[in-house]
């Protein structure tokens, strides 16, 4: 009991500090290990329940966000927390069940596959998409995240569980040395392959420098304020001054989602000063506006071209349930093949994958973010860029404005919180990306592979009997003790 409680507490603490909004990447790798090491010493039911509890305690680091955010309805938020906790319990249970059948390699490989398979099913069924709980936690370690260009971020989620699962399988009590050696070799080879691939990809020839890009945000949070109001007119003038003061050579500046709220009477008038400064500076300005009509609302990302041509409107594709907005379904480009998207859109593989295949060279993403999730959500955008081979300019209204290259390296970033300055700005020269990646071309093939591995693991449970062995508190232990007591009389 003491060992079980200690392992549960250790995993909970490691998940708490290794995931969420301010994670320590090294702890992300370690967090599953205490529960996997506990697995041979408790019953299957206890392994499932304790692992679920450990993960649930760990993700309380995001409870405040789900209680306060309007972007994710509370029932969905709680379902995410509870569902992911039960899923981790299932990972540990399957690992234990397969290892007890002597299938150490399958245990190490199929248990992480369960996690990825169910996360994938969640991503395609959840109306708010998915923010990867493990991959975002190591988004600041580019040598690890490069595998996403081939497997999608599913590969990052997988290897973060494969490493501790392989180690726990090697340390499984009473296992023969051949399965241990085989499992350790496969696990080590997979992790080494990820790191070598990442190092080689990051050490490739220096790409040609592309446009100079800026992200800018006012530090006072105002969601879609009425553009006709006097104080918002002053906000527009302040944005114009800040844009006019940007260094020479800036080609593109991205402002946040919901910077302005407009209607048919106010939209053109509100955008006019921004169009004028864009034309004067010869730079494109991308701004997020919420536009209301008598019938429906639109959440637009609007590109105001520096050559004075007509604005380009992109309609946001993805919203939380129940929000009365028009859902878009078309791509829109600013000049120089800059793709336009919007905040929650990057919780999904599309539209950014569609942009990569359509020849985009950079993504301009007005975002909002809220209640402390800005860093995590911006890293979601960064990982989408690695997946598809696209740099990302992420301009958050309340969070972490950021510019990342196509390899997931943060070129510039700032924070709207913790400063008394009225505006924050970051800018960088953005190198050209490698073009569409394997993932951009072939999609979620790795997630489907994980679904197949999951099925293989479940089939093995029915076809392979469990090997006799000690199980603390279980029937096997009782039978072994009884046999041990009777052995002298048989002699």
Q: CATH number of the domain that 348 lies in?
A: 3.60.110.10
Q: What are 372-430's pLDDT values in tens digits?
A: 888 999 999 999 999 999 999 999 998 899 999 999 999 999 999 878 899 999 999 99
Domain for residue 256, yes or no?
yes
Domain for residue 410, yes or no?
yes
Question: Do 12 and 150 fall into the same domain?
Answer: yes
Question: Do 436 and 453 fall into the same domain?
Answer: no
Strand partners, 413: 402
Which residues lie closer than 8 Å to 292 by C-beta, 6 or more apart?
Answer: 261, 262, 263, 298
Question: Do 160 and 272 fall into the same domain?
Answer: no
Domain for residue 173, yes or no?
yes
Question: Do 162 and 114 fall into the same domain?
Answer: yes
| Total residues found in the chain within this entry | 491
pLDDT score at 472: 38
Question: Do 151 and 216 fall into the same domain?
Answer: no
Choose between 483 and 437: higher pLDDT: 437
Domain for residue 241, yes or no?
yes
Q: What are 27-80's pLDDT values in tens digits?
A: 999 999 999 999 999 999 999 999 999 999 999 999 988 888 877 788 888 988
* The Cα angle at residue 100 between residues 95 and 103, in degrees rounded to 5: 70
Total domains present in the chain: 2
Question: Do 307 and 359 fall into the same domain?
Answer: yes
The whole-chain average pLDDT of the chain stands at 92
Domain for residue 234, yes or no?
yes
CB 14 within 8 A of CB 58: yes
The answer on pLDDT for 476 being more than 60 is: no
Query: Which whole number is the average pLDDT over 126-134?
Result: 90
Question: Do 217 and 329 fall into the same domain?
Answer: yes
Rounded-to-integer distance, Cα 125 and Cα 427, Å: 36
The answer on pLDDT for 490 being more than 70 is: no
Question: Do 57 and 102 fall into the same domain?
Answer: yes
Question: Do 220 and 338 fall into the same domain?
Answer: yes
Listed range (102-111, 202-211, 380-389) with the worst mean pLDDT: 202-211
Question: Do 250 and 104 fall into the same domain?
Answer: no
Alpha-carbon separation of residue 193 from 71, 182, 357, 385, 408 (angstroms): 38, 16, 27, 21, 18
Long-range Cβ contacts of 301-305 (<8 Å, 24+ apart): 301/257, 301/332, 301/340, 301/341, 301/342, 301/364, 301/365, 301/366, 302/271, 303/332, 303/333, 303/334, 303/335, 303/338, 303/340, 303/364, 304/271, 304/274, 304/275, 304/278, 305/278, 305/334, 305/335
Which residues lie closer than 8 Å to 43 by C-beta, 6 or more apart?
Answer: 471, 473, 474
Q: Which of 406, 268, 243, 423 is nearest to 339 (CA)?
A: 406
Domain for residue 28, yes or no?
yes
Record the pTM. 0.91
Domain for residue 491, yes or no?
no
Question: Do 48 and 172 fall into the same domain?
Answer: yes
The answer on pLDDT for 487 being more than 50 is: no
pLDDT score at 46: 97
Domain span at residue 457 reads 2-203+444-486
Domain for residue 167, yes or no?
yes
Question: Do 420 and 463 fall into the same domain?
Answer: no
Percentage of the chain surpassing pLDDT 70?
A: 95
pLDDT score at 491: 36
DSSP 431: E
């Amino acid at each position: 009991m003491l060992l079980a409680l200690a392992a549960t507490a250790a995993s909970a603490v490691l998940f708490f500090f290794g995931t969420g909004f301010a994670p320590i990447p090294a702890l992300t790798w370690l967090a599953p290990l205490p529960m996997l090491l506990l697995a041979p010493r408790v019953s299957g039911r206890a392994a499932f329940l304790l692992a679920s509890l450990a993960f649930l305690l760990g993700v309380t680091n995001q409870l405040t966000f789900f209680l306060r955010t309007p972007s994710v309805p509370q029932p969905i938020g709680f379902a995410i927390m509870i569902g992911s906790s039960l899923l981790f319990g299932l990972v540990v249970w399957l690992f234990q069940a397969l290892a007890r059948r002597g299938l150490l390699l399958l245990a190490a490989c199929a248990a992480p596959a369960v996690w990825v398979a169910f996360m994938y099913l969640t991503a395609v069924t959840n109306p708010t998409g998915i923010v990867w709980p493990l991959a975002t936690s190591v988004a600041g370690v580019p040598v690890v995240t490069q595998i996403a260009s081939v497997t999608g971020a599913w590969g990052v989620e997988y290897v973060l569980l494969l490493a501790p699962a392989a180690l726990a399988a090697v340390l499984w009590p009473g296992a023969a040395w051949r399965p241990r050696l085989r499992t350790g070799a496969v696990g080590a080879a997979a992790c080494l392959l990820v790191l070598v691939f990442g190092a080689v990809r990051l050490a490739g020839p220096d790409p040609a420098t592309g446009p100079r890009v800026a992200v800018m945000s006012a530090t006072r949070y105002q969601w879609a304020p009425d553009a006709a109001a006097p104080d918002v007119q002053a906000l527009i003038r302040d944005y114009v001054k800040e844009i006019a003061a940007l260094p020479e050579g800036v080609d593109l500046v991205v402002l946040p989602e919901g910077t302005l709220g407009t209607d048919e009477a106010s939209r053109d008038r509100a955008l006019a000063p921004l169009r004028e400064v864009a034309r004067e500076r010869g730079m494109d300005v991308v701004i997020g506006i919420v536009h209301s009509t008598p019938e429906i609302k639109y959440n637009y990302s609007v590109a105001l071209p520096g050559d004075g041509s007509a604005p380009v409107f992109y309609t946001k594709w993805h919203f939380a349930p129940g929000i009365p907005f028009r859902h878009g379904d078309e791509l829109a480009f600013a000049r120089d093949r800059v793709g336009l998207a919007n905040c929650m859109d990057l919780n999904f593989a599309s539209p950014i994958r569609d942009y990569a295949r359509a020849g985009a060279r950079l993504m301009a993403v007005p975002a909002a973010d809220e209640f402390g999730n800005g860093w995590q959500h911006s890293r979601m955008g960064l990982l989408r860029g690695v997946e598809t081979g696209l740099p990302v300019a992420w301009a958050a209204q309340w969070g972490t404005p950021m510019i990342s290259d196509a390899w997931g390296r943060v070129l510039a970033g700032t924070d709207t919180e913790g400063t008394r300055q009225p505006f924050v700005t970051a800018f960088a020269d953005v190198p050209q990306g490698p073009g569409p990646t394997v993932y951009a071309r072939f999609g979620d093939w790795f997630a489907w592979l994980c679904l197949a591995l999951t099925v293989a693991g479940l089939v093995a449970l029915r076809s392979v009997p469990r090997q006799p062995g000690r199980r603390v508190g279980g029937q096997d232990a009782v039978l072994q003790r009884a046999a041990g007591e009777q052995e002298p009389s048989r002699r």
